Amino acid sequence: MKSTITHKKQQYTIDLSKPLDISIPIKGTTSNVNAWYISEPKIAPHTEGDFIGKVTEGASTNFNDIWFNPHAHGTHTECVGHITKEFYSINKNLKKFFFLAKVITVAPEKLNDDFIISKAQLEYALGDASPEALVIRTLPNTRGKLSRQYSNTNPPYLVEEATEFLVTKGIKHLLIDLPSVDKEKDAGVLVSHNAFWNTKGKVRMDATITEFIFVKNTIKDGHYMLNLQVAPFENDASPSRPILYKIEA
């Protein structure tokens, strides 16, 4: 089913029957991807007295309780409210859902004891492109990312000048296959989060960061239409399901 989308006065044709899902689902198991030193998500039948919310236990419906943390347990999209004293909701600040995006692949570079994504790498990968959304796939890219336990592993991250470069390019929506754009243990400085939302100047309220994506190797680098789907939680972050569509014309 092909559809023509008019975006900033230019028309793009995409096939809605061929979505490329780059999200990681939340499962109630220990094999669920995890970060930030907390236990796995829990999905289990609600119990109350003799009632067990499971058809196989005699209930008329399956009636599960779910416990999870959006930042630790799967693909999520966050707004500036993630790092501010004031409360800001992703549900209120993300008001558009289709964006022209570019997928790039980066092999993080060694810097002292860390692996980082540098400004030079992003400059090379982006070239003259200035998409609204940038999707960063890091190497190595294996299915192990779907179940990796990231706590205390010091994953790769973006250095501040790299993130500042993305802001100068006009990128509003940053998607990455890591648990954070910042260093795991940085004493709460969060230089890349702050740089991306420009917290020292005019805050970019409509900008978002999506972490814990997974971009299959079959998805080639290049331009796509992105549909950024967010569950309507009134929270700084929400589980999300970013979907890419190949641009046919």
pLDDT tens for 150-187 read 999 999 999 999 999 999 999 999 999 999 999 999 99
Residue type present at position 69: N
The mean of the pLDDT values for the chain is 96
**Backbone dihedral angles phi then psi of residue 66, each to the nearest 5 degrees:** -130, 130
Please state, in angstroms and rounded to a whole number, the distance separating the CA atoms of residues 177 and 106. 11
| Three-class DSSP category at 125 | helix
Q: What is the pLDDT of residue 12?
A: 87
- Express each pLDDT in 80-90 by its tens digit: 999 999 999 99
- All domains in the chain, ordered by first residue: 2-27+70-246 (3.50.30.50)
Q: Percent of the chain having pLDDT more than 70?
A: 99
**Residue located via tokens 């399956």:** 62
Residue in the block written with tokens 């706590």: 151
Q: What is the pLDDT of residues 112-142, one digit of tens each?
A: 999 999 999 999 999 999 999 999 999 999 9
Residue 158's nearest CA partner among 167, 150, 149, 146 is: 167
